[in-house]
Amino acid sequence: MDFRINQDGNIVHIKAKLVMPAPIDDSIFIVPKDYQFVTEAELTRIMNVLMMERQNGR
């Protein structure tokens, strides 16, 4: 498996080395009650802030 994405010029490349089929309990996909949903625009803003902080050495 190979996944690549270009998010505003930031390239992410993920490649699986091993896939092991195994049963997964449905409960692992339950969203926690305290989970905070954000819009795509808000997520992009957050990511941009984090990238700027990283570039500035914070």
> Is residue 38 in some structural domain?
yes
Residue 35 forms part of a structural domain: yes
Q: Establish if 58 belongs to a structural domain.
A: yes
Share of the chain above pLDDT 90, in %: 66
Taking the C-alpha atoms of residue 27 and residue 33, their distance in angstroms, rounded to an integer, is: 13
Q: Are 12 and 5 in contact (CB under 8 A)?
A: yes
Is 1 among the domain residues? no
Phi-psi map region of 6: left, alpha, beta (phi>0 left; psi -120 to 50 alpha): beta
Domain containing 28: what range? 24-58
Q: What is the number of domains present in the chain?
A: 1
Q: What is the pLDDT of residues 32-57, one digit of tens each?
A: 999 999 999 999 899 889 988 888 87
Identify whether 51 is part of a domain: yes
| pTM of model > 0.95 | no
